[in-house]
Structure 1
Amino acid sequence: MGKIRILVVDDEAVVRDAYRHLFGDVEDYEVVAEASDGREAVARYEEARPDVVLMDLKMPRMSGVEAMTEIGRQHPDACMVAVTSFASLDYVVPALRAGAAGYLVKDAAAEDLIDGVRQALADEMPLSPRISRALARSIAEAPPEPPRPKASLAPFASPTAREQEVLDHLAEGLSNRDIAAMMCISEAAVKAHLRHLGDKLGVRSRTQILVLAYRHGLVSAGSVR
């Protein structure tokens, strides 16, 4: 398998330089292109066709959200991770809606950023723990949605005891690796539980599973730490 090819997008040269050195020291990673704003990012993506984009959000000319929207429109399978200083849901939610496969803050440890890239490529939706907790709280504390017609409510099978345990850990913001360690099972087993949960709920991503878990009362605000 070849190296994971990364496009780094940030309007600060020092940040781009830091990413270049970070991934340059890690086997199987390679920064193949850089961009200093969203408009340039769209062009660089077209040229380099990277495996992953690390996208800042607040930039001149075109924001990271606008750039992800445009890249996603042209390349629906693009894997993009927002990496920014802003932990507010005012930034998180638009980024995820724009197609971000994850959301990490810049104060994350180097190993978390490296793991985040791998998680994004594995469709695991990497989220910094405080982002995950804030997102979960927002979902839990949102006003109830108006009743839907019965025909629109998709019935689903209840989670097994082990699937429920995975859900509880997911609500705490844990990664697949951490969930596996907590439950003394393999990461493959965690992914299998999540896949089964997704099948039951009719969704795919970790975030979508968590959203529906809250809506169906499978986890509660008390699950979030």
Structure 2
Amino acid sequence: MTSVLIVDDQPLQRFGFRMLLEATPDTEVVGEAAHGAEAVRRTAELRPDVVLMDIRMPGMDGIEATRQIVASGGRSRILVLTTFDLDEYAHAALRAGASGFLLKDAHPEELLAGIRAVARGDAVVAPALTRRLLDAYAHHLPAAGDQGRADPRWQALTEREREILVAIGQGRTNGEIAEHLVLSESTVKTHVGRVLAKIGARDRIQAVIVAYDLGLTRPHEPGY
């Protein structure tokens, strides 16, 4: 059973989400919040598996709420809901520690699948869409250069793990990485897990952001 906290400043929106989730056997709504500060407080109290987080709310918005919830070190994971798939706010929420985002007009089955994926520890946004989002807001990213190679996160990786991180940053799937590096997908999956642990990334999306932050890959960089 996946426990969910619904965060949205619109009562009708919260009601709609609650109706959907309560009609689904494997999800349970444990609470609601109407703004970011309440979301932070209720997450600490209820410790839900997933926080369904609206971004644009009065007072503390969903980005700051996400940042505070992630910084608390709890197990709750954040699934952001946004109106536009290239919304700058969604980009900021991912950087704050969200595990992915969906559009508010997503089909019910997409929302449920996203909640389940986040609860499992997976990232909801597909690698290619993650890269498209970051490409759109590349002006927020640091200039490319060798400074990333001096970062402790980079230094902690083996040569193979560095190759894996660069490939993740390029938006490559495990299958594509396996083909390029002539490895099995299970081996790539093992390497990805080690990379995430060493760089302190909660999931693949955060690893993409780290790769961009370190200047390891740039927007519109050629692929394999």
Q: Same fold (TM over 0.5)?
A: yes
Give 1:132 shift: 4.7
Q: Which runs of 4+ in 1 moved over 6 A?
A: 187-190
Residue in structure 1 matched with residue 182 of structure 2 by the alignment: none
Q: What is the match of residue 171 of structure 1?
A: 171
Aligned to 2:30: 32
Task: Summarize the alignment of residues 69-80 of structure 1 with structure 2, pairs less than 5 Å apart.
Answer: 69-80=67-78
Among 92, 95, 98, the alignment partner of 1:94 is 92
Q: Secondary structure at the match of 2:147?
A: coil
Q: In structure 1, how many angstroms separate the alpha carbons of the residues matched to 2:209 and 2:44? A: 33
Equivalent residue letter for 1:171: G
Q: What percent identity do the matched residue pairs reach? A: 31
Q: What residue is the counterpart of 2:115 in the other structure?
A: 117
TM-score norm. by structure 1 comes to 0.70
Higher relative contact order (CA 8 A, sep 6+): 2
Who is 2:134 aligned against? 135
Query: What are the ranges of 5 or more consecutive residues in structure 2 without an aligned counterpart?
Result: 180-184
- Residue 149 (structure 1) shift: 8.4
Offset of residue 99 of structure 1: 2.4
Residues 221, 137 of structure 1: alpha-carbon distance in 2 compared, 3 angstrom cutoff: farther
Q: Does 1:18 align with 2:30?
A: no
Distance 1:133 1:150 in 2: 24
Q: Residue 137 of structure 1 contacts residue 221 of structure 1 at CA under 8 Å; is this kept in 2?
A: no
TM-score by length of 2: 0.71
8 Å CA contact 1:213–1:219 kept in 2: the answer is no
Residue ranges of structure 1 left out of the alignment (5+ in a row): none
Q: 1:107 to 1:47 in 2, by over 3 A?
A: same
Report if the CA contact (8 A) 1:103-1:131 is conserved: no
Structure 1 residues 170 and 53, CA gap change in structure 2 (3 angstroms): farther
Between the aligned partners of 1:195 and 1:102, the Cα distance in structure 2 is 18
Task: Give distance in 2, aligned partners of 1:143 and 1:169.
Answer: 14
Q: Deviations over 1:50-103 (max 9, x none)?
A: 111101011122211222233334454331211121433521232123321222
Quick check: 1:157 aligned with 2:159? yes
Q: Secondary structure at 2:159's aligned position in 1?
A: coil
Change in 2 beyond 3 A, CA 1:136/1:118 = farther
* CA displacement at 1:168 relative to structure 2: 7.5
Q: What value does the CA root-mean-square deviation take over the aligned residues? A: 4.1
CA contact (8 A) 2:91 2:133 kept: no
Q: In the aligned structure 2, how far is the partner of 1:133 from the partner of 1:99?
A: 18
> Distance between the aligned counterparts of 1:149 and 1:74, measured in 2?
27
Q: Equivalent residue for 2:147? A: 148
The whole-number CA distance in structure 1 between the counterparts of 2:204 and 2:146 is: 25
Matched residue count: 212
